[in-house]
């Protein structure tokens, strides 16, 4: 026994301790190594099978959905036109909407022969910039745009060419069904469907851009944006302004319709305008929005503010007399009237005769500081902010003296945005409420909640009387459309040419309220540098061109605004003043 044991021990030498340690760490103690090896082989087989399945699936995805894959890859490299909500007018008519349009892209790494690809693409797209396309396809990028927003036919022709590495993405393209009708209000977008002007830019500034970045605005389920604009009124106003611009050979024409009770802008037109479907037209500096972006000396329409100031102060009434017999000299300047009366005139006659001398004396009687404070209270001294990003600050004298008060009393020496002047006049005739203008729908209750009382109701009554009286016997007679009982004020502002006021180059304006006894809307018409015609007897002042244009607009938009004609109404002193608390 002892001998056999010694023999076996000799046959199986002792395992080194290092090997025993390694085997213990790798396999543990008392483990069937063969079974464990088979399990590992099986696991490896499953792992490789899963890897090959993923690769096969990705190849199928590349083959079936190459275009959509390219689109996903571009998210971090190139901007893709995102979805935007529809913009509609107050009656639901679509002003701006998205449609799907194909765009052409390339994957330079997959293109075999770049010269051949460019030659074939140029044949299908004659307007393709060959040099730029060659530069893009020669890059090392995985994705490049070649042509945005191509036509379906162009897509079909390129698809038939079968060029490897060339594909299409369907993008959102902004279209404007109404063309130039509301161009200055709607604005436009860039190639990536991001707003760059007008209400389109306002949308991005008010959260839409943030939604896009967060990925929550990628479909067409967004709620339409309802504007205050009435497309029917817009068309009528634009049509009449186009006719007037051509008839009087004016450099430009513009106008707007405002709801005096809510501040809503019902129509806004500035000519020349542009078609937002053709963005290149918007770059013309002559096509600016003159009603919000431009600032102008508004001329005699400012007299409405001057008289409202005097009446509201209690220092003057409708019968207060002012010396209108001659000119007003101030230093080296002489103020004169276009049609001097040659006698003392009442405050009412200052308005109906549109007397510069009378307006200057009314303002001087109030004082320089009181005049500045009143204009500031009516929003004429500060930049007007609305939904439209394009707005200009008024041009106000840095040092306001008596001379500035004199000239500003009849609308010279201070330049404001026309929409700004409309807001101030609205306050003069709507009961004394200063209501910020808006291009979005707003109820009367919402307007009253943000309105600021700036004039006494009695003052507003007298201003409505003066506006109506001016249509009965004053400079606004040519706009007195029967049945609508309008009120109005004209303005002829001489333009500054080479540092001097020119009598031959004028900016004419006419503001009308409809109806004067219970105003609902204000209309502003402006003609820039109208020319004299035989029928105007050589005159270029507002009463001969802007006023009759305003009358034609009122005749067309009155029924659209739901204003029923009323005939055989009493004159203004009986219908308006008699209903006022005071008649003085």
Distances (CA, A) of 31 to 17, 22, 169, 471: 18, 14, 60, 112
Residue count (the chain): 584
Residues 333 and 276 sit within 8 Å (Cβ to Cβ): no
DSSP string, 408-427: HHTT-S-BB-HHHHHHHHHH
- How many Å apart are CA 209 and CA 206, to the nearest integer? 8
For 200-234, how does the pLDDT look when each residue is reduced to its tens digit (9 = 90+)? 999 988 866 555 554 545 555 578 999 999 999 99
> Checking DSSP bridges between strand 225-226 and strand 87-88, what pairing results, if any?
parallel
Residue 390's nearest CA partner among 510, 268, 278 is 268
Other CB atoms within 10 A of residue 320 CB: 17
The predicted pLDDT at position 70 comes to 42
DSSP annotation of 395 reads B
> What is the C-alpha separation between 549 and 250, in angstroms, rounded?
13
pLDDT digits (tens, 9 = 90+) for 269-318: 999 999 999 888 888 888 889 999 999 999 999 999 999 999 999 999 99
Beta strand extents in 130-220 (DSSP E only): 144-147, 166-175, 188-189, 195-197
175 vs 189: CA distance, rounded Å: 10
Q: Does pLDDT of 497 surpass 80?
A: yes
Q: Is 300 a catalytic residue?
A: yes
Query: What's phi and psi for 301, nearest 5 deg?
Result: -60, -25
Helix (H, G, I), strand (E, B) or coil at 54: helix
- For range 332-349, the mean pLDDT: 89
Q: Encode pLDDT of 34-83 as tens digits.
A: 666 776 777 788 888 888 888 877 766 655 544 444 443 443 345 566 78
Distance of CA 362 to the CA centre of its chain: 38
Selected catalytic residue, list 254, 300, 354, 355: 300
- Cα–Cα distance for residue pair 234/439, rounded to 1 Å: 13
Closest C-alpha to 256, from 560, 512, 501: 512
CA distance 209 to 190: 13
Phi, psi of 563 (to 5 degrees): -90, 115
Instruction: Please tell me whether the overall predicted TM-score, pTM, comes out greater than 0.75 for this model.
Output: yes
Structure tokens that stand for 277 in this block: 């479907």
Q: At residue 340, does pLDDT exceed 60? A: yes
Tens of pLDDT, residue by residue over 417-476, are: 999 999 999 999 999 999 999 999 999 999 999 999 999 999 999 999 999 999 999 999
Q: Which of 255, 553, 313, 309 is nearest to 425 (CA)?
A: 309
Among 78, 72, 290, 82, CA closest to 204: 82
Choose among 353, 345, 348, 350: nearest CA to 318.
348
Closest CA to 392 of 419, 412, 422: 419
What are the CA-CA distances from residue 72 to residues 142, 211, 313 (Å)?
12, 18, 67
């Amino acid at each position: 026994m002892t001998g056999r044991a010694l023999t076996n021990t000799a046959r199986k030498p002792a395992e080194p301790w290092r090997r025993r340690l390694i085997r213990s760490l790798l396999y543990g103690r008392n483990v069937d190594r063969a079974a464990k090896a088979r399990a590992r082989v099986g696991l490896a087989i499953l792992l490789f099978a899963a890897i090959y399945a993923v690769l096969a699936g990705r190849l199928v995805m590349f083959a079936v959905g190459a275009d959509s894959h390219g689109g996903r890859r571009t998210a971090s490299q190139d901007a893709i036109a995102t979805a935007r909500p529809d913009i509609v007018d107050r009656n639901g008519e679509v002003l701006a909407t998205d449609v799907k349009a194909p765009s052409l892209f390339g994957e330079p790494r997959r293109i075999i022969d770049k010269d051949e690809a460019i030659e074939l693409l140029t044949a299908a797209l004659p307007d393709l910039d060959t040099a730029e396309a060659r530069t893009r396809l020669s890059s090392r990028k995985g994705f490049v745009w070649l042509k945005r927003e191509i036509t379906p036919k162009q897509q079909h022709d390129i698809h038939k060419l079968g060029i490897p590495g060339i594909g299409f993405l369907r993008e959102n393209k902004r279209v404007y069904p109404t063309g130039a009708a509301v161009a200055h209000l709607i604005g436009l977008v860039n190639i990536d469907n991001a707003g760059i002007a007008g209400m389109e830019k306002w949308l991005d500034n008010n959260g839409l851009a943030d939604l896009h970045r967060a990925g929550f605005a990628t479909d067409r389920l967004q709620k339409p944006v309802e504007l205050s604009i009435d497309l029917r009124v817009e068309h009528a106003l634009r049509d009449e302004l186009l006719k007037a611009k051509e008839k009087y050979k004016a450099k430009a024409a513009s106008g707007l319709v405002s709801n005096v009770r809510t501040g809503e802008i019902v129509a806004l037109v500035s000519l020349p305008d542009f078609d937002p479907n053709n963005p290149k037209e918007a770059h013309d500096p002559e096509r600016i929005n003159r009603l919000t972006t431009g600032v102008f000396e508004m001329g005699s329409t400012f007299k409405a503010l001057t008289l409202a100031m005097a009446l509201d102060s209690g220092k003057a009434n409708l019968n207060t007399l002012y010396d209108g017999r001659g000119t007003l000299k101030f230093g080296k300047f002489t103020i004169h009237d276009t049609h001097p009366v040659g006698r003392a005139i009442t405050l009412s006659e200052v308005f109906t005769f549109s007397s510069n001398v009378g307006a200057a004396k009314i303002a001087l009687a109030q004082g320089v500081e009181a005049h500045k404070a009143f204009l500031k209270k009516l929003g004429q001294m500060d930049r007007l902010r609305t939904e439209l990003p394009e707005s200009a600050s008024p041009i106000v004298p840095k040092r306001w003296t008596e001379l500035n008060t004199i000239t500003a009393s009849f609308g010279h020496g201070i330049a404001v945005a026309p929409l700004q002047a409309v807001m101030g006049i609205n306050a003069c005739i709507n009961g004394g409420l200063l209501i910020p203008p808006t291009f979005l729908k707003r109820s009367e209750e919402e307007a009253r909640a943000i309105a600021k009382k700036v004039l006494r109701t009695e003052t507003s009554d007298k201003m409505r009387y003066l506006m109506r009286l001016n249509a009965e016997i004053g400079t606004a007679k040519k706009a007195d459309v029967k049945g609508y009982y309008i009120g109005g004020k004209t303005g002829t502002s001489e333009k500054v040419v080479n540092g001097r006021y020119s009598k031959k180059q004028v900016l004419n304006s006419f503001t009308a309220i409809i109806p004067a006894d219970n105003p609902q809307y204000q209309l502003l018409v402006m003609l820039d540098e109208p020319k004299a015609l035989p029928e105007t007897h050589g005159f270029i002042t507002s009463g001969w061109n802007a006023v009759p244009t305003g009358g034609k607009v009122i005749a067309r938009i009155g029924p659209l605004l739901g204003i029923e004609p009323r005939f055989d109404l009493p004159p203004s002193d009986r219908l308006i003043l008699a209903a006022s608390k005071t008649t003085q």
